Amino acid sequence: MRKLSFAITTGLISLLALVAGTGRAQSERQGNVTKPKAPTPFEIAKAVNKSKRIWKKNHTQVVVDLGLTWEQLGIDRGAFAGCSGDCEAKIYRHELDSTPGKEIILKLTQSYNFCRYLIFARGRTISRTGSKWKLLGYIDHDFNRYKMASHRIVRTSDTNWLVIRGQEGSGSGFSLYGETWYQVSDKGVRATLSYPFAGNTDPWPTGLGREFKARVFSGRNSTRRYNQILIRYRVAYTTLDYIKNDFTKLFANNHHAYYVWSKRSHTFVFDRTRSDITEDEINAIAGIETEDEPQAGQQVGSMTFYTQSETRAFVGGGYEVFLKYNSHRLMKIAMGKNTEQKQWLKQFLDDCENTAEKKALLKVLQKQ
């Protein structure tokens, strides 16, 4: 009798569990709403991509409610409270920390606007959420107007770095992309270096255009034995006249900037002694706010950029920024024999404030 009673009791419990489970499933999907079954990278990706497939197949919206998931993971929902067919999830496996075994990067994108990276590691014990996966940290990028943020893994000596490239600003004839290096460990995910990577400023209808792009090299200093990063910038300047359809390349400058690992701050710091450009000059080229620039900028993502006028080419400081950092190149034009370039320089200086660089150039031009 005891065995029979136990069997009946077990059967009732199983039946009640089945009914309760069915009720939860129906409740989760009531009104075409679903949730991840567990706060793991695979379950989150499964729910998000299923919603996308249903939308692509028959244009039926299935809302993925991620509110409870973020609560279970202990992070802010940000702009990603949920989605309905306009989201996508991708899973990447990379060796990121110093422990054996690859970590999981879950990349969530929402249309071409919001992007969230979640970095998971397999834990030794079951977490409070009942999962073997431990969230190490997450990275949000909320400005992807023309190109979605992307990532890569860079190795220097015995360290792997997560590098994320994303759009930092845009406007009329203006774009800016930046890169950030992250260190991943069991203590979390922390940013160690950020720098402008590429961008352009093209005034309309006439003016001076600027385009820059970086090449990044990483490694270990052989003599001092520390991680270092070398960034080579190429900056090209072009005279623009959209009315006459005239675009003349003026000149291009090459610069290099070194960053070295600091054990004190656990970040990469700028090495002024080996760089041929200052951080202020890099910011001026990229159009990023510095202490020397006007402070009326617009915050987008993690950077500040300025709305340019139709006649000025340089974001933040007008043409004076160009004069300050390129006066020696312009002096060669002023002293040269190219009549067209000298005529352009005279017209260009008319749009500039009366700085010391402008006065010196005008003095040379008047003697010619």
pLDDT digits (tens, 9 = 90+) for 308-339: 333 344 544 467 778 888 889 999 999 999 99
C-beta neighbour count of 233 within 10 angstroms: 23
Please give the residue that has the higher pLDDT: either 275 or 10. 275
The mean pLDDT of 344-354, rounded to a whole number, is: 87
Instruction: Tell me the β-bridge partners of 63.
Output: 33
Q: How confident is the model at residue 174 (pLDDT cuts 50, 70, 90)?
A: confident
Reduced DSSP (H G I as helix, E B as strand, rest coil) percent helix, strand, coil of the chain, to 5: 30, 40, 35
Question: Which residue from 316, 154, 121 is spatially nearest to 230, judged by alpha carbons?
Answer: 154
Q: How confident is the model at residue 38 (pLDDT cuts 50, 70, 90)?
A: very high
The mean pLDDT of 171-179, rounded to a whole number, is: 89
pLDDT at residue 295 greater than cutoff 70: no
The mean pLDDT of 244-259, rounded to a whole number, is: 91
Mean pLDDT is lowest, of 43-47, 299-303, 329-333, 344-348, for 299-303
Question: Which residue from 253, 254, 246, 251 is spatially nearest to 207, judged by alpha carbons?
Answer: 246
Mean pLDDT is lowest, of 38-47, 69-78, 304-313, for 304-313
Q: How confident is the model at residue 297 (pLDDT cuts 50, 70, 90)?
A: very low
Question: Which residue from 69, 71, 143 is spatially nearest to 106, judged by alpha carbons?
Answer: 69
Beta-strand runs (E) in 157-297: 159-171, 174-185, 188-201, 206-220, 227-241, 246-262, 267-271
How far apart CA 120 and CA 141 sit, in angstroms, is 18
The segment with the largest mean pLDDT, out of 28-32, 147-151, 313-317, is 147-151
Question: Which residue from 243, 248, 213 is spatially nearest to 231, judged by alpha carbons?
Answer: 213
pLDDT at residue 1 greater than cutoff 70: no
pLDDT at residue 160 greater than cutoff 90: yes
C-beta neighbour count of 364 within 10 angstroms: 15
pLDDT at residue 4 greater than cutoff 60: no
Per-residue tokens: 92: 């990447």
How far apart CA 267 and CA 273 sit, in angstroms, is 18
Predicted TM-score (pTM) of this structure: 0.80
